[in-house]
Amino acid sequence: MTTQIKSKKITDIKNGGIRGYVKLTDKTTTHFEITSDGEWEQWGNSKENLCLTVPLIEKLQQMILCDC
């Protein structure tokens, strides 16, 4: 069975950034935070799942930077 994104939650933070988490079908949860200047970090993930979470976080990062 291929691991997929099961659900996600995104919350605004005071400085104009966002934070949240992504739950995967392998029962892991990846937390992330993206600041208003586009810097981001994630934690709680394994290398095998980065191909799922990094593209999502980069897409959210672009939304913050271009204010779309």
Model confidence at 9, pLDDT cuts 50, 70, 90, reads very high
Domain of residue 40, residue span: 5-66
Looking at the 3D structure of the chain, how many domains does it have?
1
pLDDT score for 68? 54
pLDDT at residue 67 greater than cutoff 90:
no
- Model confidence over 12-59: pLDDT tens digits? 998 889 999 999 999 999 999 999 999 999 999 888 899 999 999 999
Burial label for 56, CB within 10 Å (0-12, 13-18, 19+), is middle
Contact call for residues 19 and 13 (beta carbons, < 8 A): yes
Burial label for 57, CB within 10 Å (0-12, 13-18, 19+), is buried
pLDDT score for 54? 95
